[in-house]
Amino acid sequence: MNLEPRSSNPHLQTTKSLHKKSDLCSSSQFNNLTSLIKNCIFHGRAKQALTIYTRYRCTGSVSTLGALPLALKACASLSLLTLGQSLHAESLKTGIEVDVMVGTALVDMYGKCGGRGALIDARKLFDDMPDTNVRTWNAMIGGYMRASDLNSATLLFEEMQFRTSVTWNQMIDGFAKNNNMVLARQLFDTMPEELRTVVTWTVMVDGYASSGEMEAARQLFDMMPKRNFYVWSSMISGYFKKGKVEEATDMFNRMTSRNLVNWNSLIAGFAQNGFSKLALDAFRRMQMEGFEPDEFTLVSILSACAQLGFLDTGKEIHGMAIQKGIQLNHFVLNALVDMYAKCGDLQIAQSIFEDIPSRTTSAWNALILGFAMHGQCREAIELFSKMEMSNGGKPDAITFVVVLSACAHAGFVEEGLHIFAKMEKHGVTPCIKHYGCIADLLGRAGRIREAYDLIKAMPVPPNETILGALLGACRIHADTDMAEPLLEDVEKLKGGRGSDDSAHYVLLSSMYATSEKWEKAESMRVTLLNKCPKKKTAGFSSVILKGSERNVSTYTTEF
Q: What is the CATH number of the domain that holds 104?
A: 1.25.40
Q: In the chain, what percentage of residues exceed pLDDT 70?
A: 81
> Are 152 and 214 part of one and the same domain?
no
Weakest mean pLDDT among 78-87, 305-314, 315-324: 78-87
Give the per-residue pLDDT at 530. 60
The yes-or-no verdict on residue 21 having pLDDT over 60 is no
**Separation of alpha carbons 240 and 229, rounded Å:** 17
> How many domains in the chain?
3
Report the chain's mean pLDDT, rounded to a whole number: 84
Q: Is the dihedral of CA 485, 486, 492, 494 positive or negative?
A: negative
Give the per-residue pLDDT at 16. 41
> Are 157 and 231 part of one and the same domain?
no
> Are 209 and 251 part of one and the same domain?
yes
Altogether, the residues listed in the chain come to a count of 559
Q: Could you say which of 200, 233, 257 is where a domain stops?
A: 257
> Are 155 and 47 part of one and the same domain?
yes
> Are 174 and 154 part of one and the same domain?
no
Q: Which domain holds residue 555?
A: 437-559
> Are 103 and 240 part of one and the same domain?
no
What is the average pLDDT across 218-246?
96
The answer to whether position 291 is within a domain reads no
List the beta bridge partners of residue 554.
540
Confidence of residue 278 (pLDDT cuts 50, 70, 90): very high
> Are 492 and 457 part of one and the same domain?
yes
Residue among 447, 426, 428, 427 nearest 438 (CA): 447
Give the per-residue pLDDT at 431. 92
Give the per-residue pLDDT at 91. 85
What is the average pLDDT across 453-473?
85
What is the average pLDDT across 238-261?
96
> Are 53 and 154 part of one and the same domain?
yes
> Are 19 and 152 part of one and the same domain?
yes
The yes-or-no verdict on residue 537 having pLDDT over 70 is no
Give the per-residue pLDDT at 485. 80
What is the average pLDDT across 235-261?
96
The answer to whether position 517 is within a domain reads yes
Q: Which residue has the higher pLDDT, 499 or 531?
A: 531
Q: Which amino acid is at 545?
A: L
Give the per-residue pLDDT at 11. 40
- The CB density around residue 381, as the number of other CB atoms within 10 Å, is 21
DSSP state of 129: -
Give the per-residue pLDDT at 519. 60
Q: Are 299 and 331 in contact (CB under 8 A)?
A: yes
The answer to whether position 555 is within a domain reads yes
Give the per-residue pLDDT at 4. 40
What is the average pLDDT across 424-445?
92
Confidence of residue 291 (pLDDT cuts 50, 70, 90): very high
**Separation of alpha carbons 486 and 452, rounded Å:** 8
Q: In the chain, what percentage of residues exceed pLDDT 90?
A: 60
Q: Could you say which of 201, 223, 257 is where a domain stops?
A: 257
- The CB density around residue 155, as the number of other CB atoms within 10 Å, is 12
Q: Are 129 and 4 in contact (CB under 8 A)?
A: no
**Separation of alpha carbons 344 and 327, rounded Å:** 25
**Separation of alpha carbons 116 and 300, rounded Å:** 35
What is the average pLDDT across 73-79?
91
The answer to whether position 536 is within a domain reads yes
Give the per-residue pLDDT at 65. 64
The answer to whether position 476 is within a domain reads yes
Q: Which residue has the higher pLDDT, 296 or 32?
A: 296
The answer to whether position 538 is within a domain reads yes
Confidence of residue 392 (pLDDT cuts 50, 70, 90): confident
The yes-or-no verdict on residue 5 having pLDDT over 50 is no
Q: Are 188 and 172 in contact (CB under 8 A)?
A: yes
Q: Are 473 and 438 in contact (CB under 8 A)?
A: no
Q: Which amino acid is at 533?
A: P
Give the per-residue pLDDT at 517. 58
> Are 225 and 205 part of one and the same domain?
yes
Write the pLDDT tens digit of every residue in 167-216: 999 999 999 999 999 999 999 999 999 999 999 999 999 999 999 999 99
What is the average pLDDT across 320-331?
92
The answer to whether position 546 is within a domain reads yes
Q: What is the CATH number of the domain that holds 177?
A: 1.25.40.10
> Are 186 and 215 part of one and the same domain?
yes
The yes-or-no verdict on residue 7 having pLDDT over 90 is no
Write the pLDDT tens digit of every residue in 110-160: 999 877 889 999 999 999 999 999 999 999 999 999 999 999 999 999 999
The answer to whether position 354 is within a domain reads no
The yes-or-no verdict on residue 341 having pLDDT over 80 is yes
The yes-or-no verdict on residue 495 having pLDDT over 70 is no
For residue 217, is it left (φ>0), alpha (ψ between -120 and 50) or beta?
Answer: alpha
> Are 67 and 190 part of one and the same domain?
no
Write the pLDDT tens digit of every residue in 500-536: 545 556 666 666 655 555 565 556 566 555 655 555 5
Give the per-residue pLDDT at 487. 73
Based on DSSP, count helices (H) and strands (E) in the chain, helices before strands.
Answer: 31, 2
What is the average pLDDT across 95-114?
87
Q: Could you say which of 106, 134, 161 is where a domain stops?
A: 161
The yes-or-no verdict on residue 470 having pLDDT over 90 is no
Torsion of Cα atoms, 224 then 230 then 235 then 240, to 10°? 180
Q: At what angle do helices 68-78 and 100-112 cross, to 10 degrees?
A: 10
**Separation of alpha carbons 470 and 481, rounded Å:** 12
Give the per-residue pLDDT at 53. 86
Confidence of residue 63 (pLDDT cuts 50, 70, 90): low
